Amino acid sequence: MRKREFAIVFLVLLGVILNVQPAHAQDATSGAIGGMVKDRRTGERLAGVTVVVHSLAGNGDYTAITDGRGAFKVSGLPPGLYSAVFIFAEAKMKIASIQVSIGRSSQVYPQMDLSQIGETIVVKGRPNIDTTRTTQGIVINRSYIQYLPLPSGRNYKHIAEGQLHSVKSRALSTFSLDVDTASYSNVRRFLKEGQRPPSDAVKIEELINYFGYEDRAPQGASPLAVYSEVAPAPWNRARSLVRIGIKSVEIPAKALPASNLVFLIDVSGSMSGPDRLDLLKNAFRLLVSNLRPQDRVAIVVYAGAAGVVLPSTPGSQRWKILEALDALEAGGSTAGGAGIQLAYELAQKHFIKDGNNRVILATDGDFNVGTSSEEALIRLIEGKRKSGVFLTVLGFGRGNYQDSKMEQLADKGNGNHAYIDNLLEAKKVLVKEMGATLVTVASDVKIQVEFNPRLVRSYRLIGYENRMLADKDFNDDKKDAGELGAGHSVSALYELVYVKQASAPGIDRLKYQESRLTSAGASAELMTIKLRYKPNGSSKSRRITHSVFRPKNPRQRASRSWRWAAAVAEFGMLLRNSKHKGKSSYKQVLSLAKGALGQDTDGYRSEFVSLVEKASALR
């Protein structure tokens, strides 16, 4: 990325500029840092910029948000040296040294170049002041301005891509089912803004599972049904691609159980802005508009401290809920741990037996006060899920979006994780797919696949890298796994390399392996899928077994669901620049996707086609 200069104006003077009162008028033992932030290119004053002032003497951090004029002020600062970081969207800027004196206000006037995403500029040391004066104050001598990389606040856990495994050495593949879709909407946001997403932001299973598939809902007593299909992999014709489809029981909206919901809303300073708190409030308005009289909603907010802004209120009083939402404003630091504790206490107080008891956490994930470590938050969530209250996590915002932390919270809270980048996505998650989002029908869902070594030499699971389980975990009912909601449609893809001959010449007979195949091994079975789940409210699991056979006619055209899943997987591999992408191309992805659009009544698949075209243009 080509570096450009930020124009930074730095001024230390008595508080007469911008009508700022001297600090000693408020506190004779402290000083202040204030100023105004502008867009360097347009000169526009930037409202909603997060300003984090850090004491270099170890006296802690102070946070402010620029107002509608782009102005901010942090008062009550002990004298000494401070640094200041300015965060807007995904742009960050840092001033490394600001002197604060008693009775004085140190003024800074940064002009941020918003095109320089992920870049920062640092003013080193205590700068010498140039005598050149401008309408904004005194300009820093440019020799003291230096570019330094500042890591983005976005937190994506590294994904070590799944590899090919030999069936002879590793005959079993075991993983937890995943129904999160946050990665797809996050990737969509990047592409619509003309950026390629970071590779670790691309979780292929979440891209695939963003879409519905044409699998039939279960017909019997089980809440889950399993399907499979095999065809040649589009990107590598020497391999086969198996799609495993799992469909959960559908529950009509009118028949959904009563809901006891607690909206846990982050109103800290980092949530200021149209794509954060404003979008969040509009999203929850959609959910509130679909409440029934038997449903209940409470609202807990957290910033510097956590508090209840709306006690548990029946759905028949929507106006009260909407009034509480409309009154929310952003400001302060982020006491996320305290908010989660309070929300669970409120949900447990109004617990509905056989109902949907759930905390819906809406945040950018930037927990930085209180219970802030991932480990502490995870332990807290794990302890609360035993009460029967589940957790849904909705992500908002850009720049400091904490994807990894939010995914773990949802997983440990027996819930799901979605990223809301626009109001249409909010409608999809909270209205159209409300049953799948909020009503769990099967818990601790695990898959274990056993491969037939007579027919399959090696295999690779596409995606699910952070969902892998030990083989022994499959039968352990104490091991936590994924949850499926009502009407969920989930897919998992395996690449297979077939055995070309039953035994390899020149290799001695193995001493510690079975010398004879069972009758099943001698059949046309490629693999056996075992699915284990707990019916909602049960502590004892049940098992479903499904066999996958080698297709009799490999040239037969695959189903629309198979072709769509293959297109999305190939797109994910291109975005990640996967070493397994083979002969993948955007042209091939488009051909597959356009041939599998189907009715597409909601336009999700057509939108995917446009995203592929955008990604192709960004190469």
Rounded-to-integer distance, Cα 499 and Cα 273, Å:
56
- φ, ψ (nearest 5 deg) of residue 561: -65, -45
Altogether, the residues listed in the chain come to a count of 619
Kindly indicate the confidence band of residue 500, based on its pLDDT and cuts at 50, 70 and 90.
Answer: confident
Q: pTM score, two decimals?
A: 0.72
pLDDT bin (cut points 50, 70, 90) of residue 352 is very high
- Contact of 187 with 201, CB cutoff 8 Å: yes
pLDDT tens digits for 43-75?
778 877 778 888 887 777 787 778 767 888 888
Nearest to 325 by CA among 289, 363, 299: 299
Query: Architecture of 7-149 per CATH?
Result: Sandwich (2.60)
Same fold across 7-149 and 165-251+441-503+518-617:
yes
pLDDT above 50: residue 414: yes
Examine the pLDDT at 606 and tell me if it is beyond 90. yes
pLDDT at 155: 65
152 falls in which pLDDT band (50, 70, 90)? Answer: very low
Task: Assess contact for 233 and 239: CB atoms under 8 A.
Answer: yes
In this predicted structure, what is the pLDDT of residue 515? 47
**Mean pLDDT, all residues of the chain:** 81
Phi-psi region of 62 (alpha: psi -120 to 50; beta: other; left: phi over 0): beta
Superfamily name with CATH number, domain 165-251+441-503+518-617 = Gamma-adaptin ear (GAE) domain (2.60.40.1230)
Average pLDDT over residues 13-25: 31
Q: Where are the domains of the chain?
A: 7-149, 165-251+441-503+518-617, 253-438
Range 329-352 average pLDDT: 80
Mean pLDDT in residue range 315-335: 83
What local confidence, expressed as pLDDT, does residue 607 receive?
95
pLDDT tens digits, 392-413: 999 998 766 778 778 888 888 8
Check: CB of residue 77 under 8 Å from CB of residue 84.
Answer: no
DSSP line for 440-458: EEEEEEEEEEEE-TTTEEE
**pLDDT on residue 112:** 82
SS3 508: coil
Q: Which of the four pLDDT bands, split at 50, 70 and 90, describes residue 351?
A: very high
Q: Greater confidence, 271 or 217?
A: 217
Reported as a pLDDT band with limits 50, 70 and 90, residue 329 is: confident
**Percent of the chain surpassing pLDDT 70:** 80
pLDDT at 463: 96
The reported pLDDT for the residue numbered 15 is: 28
CATH fold of 253-438, please?
A: Rossmann fold (3.40.50)
Cβ contacts of 522 within 8 Å, gap of 6 or more: 454
Residue 274, pLDDT score: 81
- Reference 303, options 219, 368, 220; nearest CA is 368
DSSP letter at 586 equals H
Task: Give the whole-angstrom CA distance, residue 319 versus residue 106.
Answer: 45
Q: Which pLDDT belongs to residue 513?
A: 54
Which residues, 6 or more positions from 496, have their beta carbon under 8 angstroms from its beta carbon?
A: 230, 239, 240, 241, 242, 451, 456, 458, 459, 526, 527
Segment 473-484, tens digit of pLDDT: 999 999 989 899
With residue 70 as reference, give the H or E element that holds it: none
